[in-house]
A and B are shown apart, each in its own frame.
Chain A
């Protein structure tokens, strides 16, 4: 019984992977054929083969840039998580605190991050820090909202059960509210990791000497258009890989939360 179930699951996984891969291959082939067929110039839309060739030629440099962007993304993402968790707890602690903190949060979100980035460079200097701060500012808000939603969506009976056991508020938070919020935290993390990549690129556009955002700015300035496209492809790959990493972490460490997610949907 179990073996049949497993076999069926694996064939479904294979189909889940095979179909998107096939679609992707068809898309890339069509792109190549159309570019060549209509002889579209490479400085407008380069062919996939040209993108590959130009990017591969500079593999060493490109991987250095990719690593730099990955680092900024992850640092900003980590900062978002570290700040959002206590912030969400604070927001849900009492209506008075929420009324004080929430408007400030909305204010940080209403500032266009691209406009803020050069000012951050003036404040923090020309280094990694302003880029991480921009990444953080872009990524943390949805995370705070989903953690707060998770903390407040605990069934009232569970809170009553905690109170009936005379659990302290701290213990209630730690043993009931936060575990209950895990599926919400992960849906926030999935949004945050995607936004972190965006934030890192914004930071690199404004001030950087390396990174994929920097590579796009410099290569377009020097008409190395296929290289810029290569950086773009790498950025989306980076986004997909980091997103899947969050998904896998949830599945491995919180398998029950994945189920709760599905039930919620």
Chain B
């Protein structure tokens, strides 16, 4: 579905310096697969996501979706950011409809889908509320609806739960797995949290920093549906220990 073929990205800083954010990354994501990207800050996880979204162009290599090269943002991808960044002047329903409106594709079917999605994430009845009237977790639920409103095949999530408190975070993690089960999508999920990545993913892509590279790709064999009780299982423990080892070296694995 998504193919990154020897992709490299160099940024030019304000001072004119060239910074290699990603060096030679190759990755293949299958249809309806849930892939998590973990790695230290500065490993280019978010850049990788934006490459797939078509928001930035690779300096070298090729990004393609379904065999077609990505040269600009596509209709079949949706993005969720770390901050919900809802429009403060628009109601929750209008916020969810915003991408359709911007694409000039706003119609009755879209409105119906938006209401469906809001019900799916437990925000039925909040359509007419404004972002400031909702908690951070509820705002991020609306942010997920906004990314899904044009029914994309691919959902790109950039640390979507990073700004939430720990309890809301667990709640939304479970919620996301339920949504994914009910509406299968290809999901690329960037996170700082190793347990979150292991719990969510079919495969975890571990990245190393400066320049960003794929250190290793780890298959997670935990059965689905999953929940936080699985953290006690040895497959879970083995996977988190291995990822920690890859990121911090043997020091982290022992500690």
Chain A interface (Cβ within 8 Å of chain B)?
155, 157-158, 160-167, 171, 175-176, 179-180, 182, 254, 256-257, 259-260
- Candidates B89, B99, B130; contact of A164 at CB < 8 Å: B99
* Residues on B with beta carbons closer than 8 Å to the beta carbon of A161: 79, 81, 85, 98-99, 102, 146
Q: Which 9 A-B pairs have CB atoms at the shortest separation, nearest pair first?
A: A165-B102, A157-B81, A157-B85, A164-B73, A167-B102, A165-B99, A165-B103, A256-B88, A256-B89
Chain B interface (Cβ within 8 Å of chain A)?
50, 53-55, 72-73, 77, 79, 81-83, 85, 87-89, 98-99, 101-103, 130, 132, 146
* Residues on A with beta carbons closer than 8 Å to the beta carbon of B54: 164
Complex contact A259–B88 (CB within 8 A): yes
* Residues on A with beta carbons closer than 8 Å to the beta carbon of B50: 160
Known: A256-B132, A259-B132. A158 touches B102 (CB 8 A): no
- Candidates A164, A254, A257, A260; contact of B55 at CB < 8 Å: A164
* Residues on A with beta carbons closer than 8 Å to the beta carbon of B101: 175
Q: How far, in whole Å, are A217 and B80 apart by their CA atoms in the complex? A: 63
Q: How far, in whole Å, are A42 and B67 apart by their CA atoms in the complex? A: 90
* Residues on A with beta carbons closer than 8 Å to the beta carbon of B146: 161
* Residues on B with beta carbons closer than 8 Å to the beta carbon of A260: 88
Q: How far, in whole Å, are A257 and B72 apart by their CA atoms in the complex? A: 33
Complex contact A164–B85 (CB within 8 A): no
Complex contact B88–A164 (CB within 8 A): no
Complex contact A166–B73 (CB within 8 A): yes
* Residues on A with beta carbons closer than 8 Å to the beta carbon of B89: 179, 182, 254, 256-257
Complex contact B88–A160 (CB within 8 A): no
* Residues on A with beta carbons closer than 8 Å to the beta carbon of B103: 165-167
Can you sample 27 A-B contacts with CB below 8 Å? Answer: A155-B83, A157-B81, A157-B85, A160-B50, A160-B79, A160-B81, A161-B81, A161-B85, A161-B99, A161-B146, A163-B73, A164-B54, A164-B55, A164-B79, A165-B73, A165-B102, A166-B72, A167-B103, A175-B101, A175-B102, A176-B87, A179-B89, A180-B87, A254-B89, A257-B88, A259-B88, A259-B132
A158, A161, A166, A167 interface centre (most CB from chain B within 10 Å):
A161
Q: How far, in whole Å, are A198 and B50 apart by their CA atoms in the complex? A: 50
Q: What 18 new A-B contacts, CB under 8 Å, besides A161-B102, A179-B89?
A: A157-B81, A157-B82, A157-B83, A158-B85, A158-B87, A160-B79, A161-B98, A161-B99, A161-B146, A163-B73, A164-B55, A164-B77, A164-B79, A165-B73, A166-B103, A175-B102, A256-B89, A257-B88
